[in-house]
């Protein structure tokens, strides 16, 4: 069982919405002790940190997703979420979640995590 498992991706039309989930294995990682982040990687492009949330629930977003992406965490369910609204074709990417053990600050950074999942694909096209 992986430490982090993403789900919720799919193919949607521009303007649509998706809710991504990242479930952590309770026996391996309790997210209450971790800063969490969502990254995305489009084909041929560098991985990008798009949203992150610290252990107090404070969130940080990259400018290109502000107002459209909302990151949240449910420590009781040991799950991280990413609500994506007003999807654009340029949002097409593999979305991956990551965890950084505290003490931790935001942004997490491309190499600042302790664990990362395998990702879920989001495709936006008409």
pLDDT digits (tens, 9 = 90+) for 36-68: 999 999 999 999 999 999 999 999 999 999 999
Residue range 97-108, pLDDT digits in tens: 999 999 999 999
pLDDT value of position 2: 84
Tokens 């990682």 label which residue?
29
Per-residue pLDDT for 13 more than 90?
yes
Q: Dihedral, CA atoms, 104, 23, 74, 34, nearest 10 degrees?
A: -10
pLDDT value of position 26: 84
CA dist 12 and 91 (Å) reads: 11
How are beta strands 10-12 and 120-124 bridged, if at all? parallel
Extract the tokens encoding 51. 């949203």
Q: How far is CA 36 from CA 11, 19, 74, in A?
A: 25, 16, 11
């Amino acid at each position: 069982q992986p430490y982090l498992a993403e789900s919720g991706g799919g193919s949607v039309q521009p303007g649509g919405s998706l809710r991504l989930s990242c479930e952590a294995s309770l026996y391996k990682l309790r997210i209450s002790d971790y800063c969490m982040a969502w990254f995305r990687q489009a084909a041929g492009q560098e991985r990008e940190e798009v949203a992150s949330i610290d252990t107090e629930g404070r969130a940080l977003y990259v400018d290109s997703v502000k107002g459209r992406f909302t990151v949240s965490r449910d420590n009781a369910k040991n799950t991280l979420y990413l609500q994506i609204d007003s999807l654009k074709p340029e949002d097409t990417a593999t979305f991956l979640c990551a965890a950084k053990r505290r003490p931790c600050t935001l942004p997490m950074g491309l190499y600042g995590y302790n664990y990362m999942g395998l990702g879920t694909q989001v495709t936006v096209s008409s």
